[in-house]
Amino acid sequence: MSALIPVRAHAFSNPVVERQAPYPAVLNAILSERGLANARCEITAWPGYAPTPLHRLDGLARTAGLAALWYKDEGSRFGLGSFKALGGAYAVEQLLIAEIARRSGETAHVTDLLTGRYRDITDAITVTCATDGNHGRSVAWGAQTFGCRCVIYIHATVSPGRANAIARYGAEVVRTTGNYDESVRQAAWDAATHGWFVVSDTSYPGYLDVPKDVMQGYTLMADEVAQQLTDEMMPTHIFIQGGVGGMAAAVCARFWQLHGAARPKMVVVEPDRAACLYESARAGQPIVIHGDLDTVMAGLACGEVSLLAWDILQPGVDAFMTVDDEAALACMRLLAEGVGGDGPIVAGESAVAGLAGCLGVLADPESMAQLDLGLDSRVLLFGSEGDTDPELYRQIIGRDAQAVRATT
């Protein structure tokens, strides 16, 4: 497999992982069973909700030398094409409910927002965020669905396709110079100036509550997987994308809550050009990665760790690693073609980092031994997006997503 999919990977085993500890009670202030219950109740009431599929890739597992390989495919999530639909929109909904309570003294429910009962209040509210594409699309969709105004900031390297996808949900899209983290600061500055509400998927000192809601929305994805897997299918390993860490923290927290010390070994994978979590793990504390962070895995082009996510990942993750862009492109093509009888899967650039990381470990005997990954291992991957930039996907694969799916 290493000859078929060459991967330049670097792994770092986490020396402070609390492998034998139960889910710490202190972390319930970030992600909790109670918070998941609320997110589940709200999100499953949204129009169009359905659990996303969990694909079993037996052909790829055999070829790679694994016992089993599962791929949670988020490409169909609410028609937005990514898992981010669970986070940004949920945070918008929770923010509006809180503002309705503050301004009217009444307790609103999701049905009240969907029917426009409080439009006199929500019409006067503007939400905003910075994005590399998918989170902004979720916030814009949530604003349109629940009835408020939206302004989204994108940085210099965000593709026109992703910008247009956000604008289709009625948001005003503002392109900034610089990288993602600079667009985050611009969105925060303008929000403070105009009295807008920032709905960010990354937390920082003084800004914690909304990112908690974003991550709590993501935990529904992990909870769906827990329902889709039988005890015999329980994964031994999870390879998952990094970014600012929100999705990885949500998945880590849910499996830690459910299985404690018996939870799967978890590896967080990032682009080698935007590896803030990897470098923070090596440093033993959150650090900032500077530069343009230019990677094809646009959804993972982040230079600053979400502090709340880090509080969960630092004690909960077994290893951090980086992969190169070429490996991501190769993995996209691998899934589009299918291996050994597997059906084709449409996976976006940021969806395949976990697969690339897994294949990178399998190509390195030392890493395999450190992570106890081999013939008896059952690996779970999270396909975080589909073809969220259809034109870029066509350029990479050589055909569009519809043509890929038609080969099933």
Q: Let me know: does 84 contact 134? Beta carbons within 8 Å.
A: yes
Question: What per-residue confidence (pLDDT) applies to 3?
Answer: 47
Query: Count of CB atoms within 10 A of residue 341's CB?
Result: 10
Q: Quote the longest CA-to-CA distance of the chain.
A: 63
- Segment 51-79 shows an average pLDDT of 97
| Known active-site residue 342 | no
pTM: 0.94
Catalytic site residue 325?
no
Give the up-direction half-sphere exposure of residue 361: CA atoms within 13 A in the CB hemisphere. Answer: 32
What is the reported pLDDT for 299?
Answer: 87
Q: Specify the DSSP element, H or E, that contains 127.
A: strand 126-131
Q: In the structure, what pLDDT confidence band is assigned to residue 1 with cuts at 50, 70 and 90?
A: very low
pLDDT band at residue 302, thresholds of 50, 70 and 90? confident
**What six digits make up the tokens of 194?**
């105009």
Instruction: Indicate which residue of 72, 73, 112, 132 is catalytic.
Output: 132
Residues 253, 260: Cα–Cα separation, whole Å: 10
* Residue 293, pLDDT score: 85
* CB-based contacts of 84, cutoff 8 Å, min separation 6: 134, 135, 137, 138, 201, 384, 385
Residue 4 pLDDT grade (very low, low, confident, very high; cuts 50, 70, 90): low
Token couple for 85:
């639909």
The percent of residues in the chain predicted with pLDDT above 70, rounded, is: 99
Q: Residues 65-72: what's their mean pLDDT?
A: 97
Complete domains list, the chain, with CATH: 10-83+211-405 (3.40.50.1100), 88-200 (3.40.50.1100)
C-beta atoms surrounding 334 within 10 Å:
23
pLDDT at 101: 98
Residue from 72, 73, 84, 265 carrying the catalytic annotation: 84
Higher pLDDT, 378 or 232: 378
pLDDT score of 392 more than 70: yes
Q: What percent of the chain lies above the pLDDT cut of 90?
A: 87
Angle at the Cα of 99 from the Cα atoms of 96 and 105, rounded to 5 degrees: 125
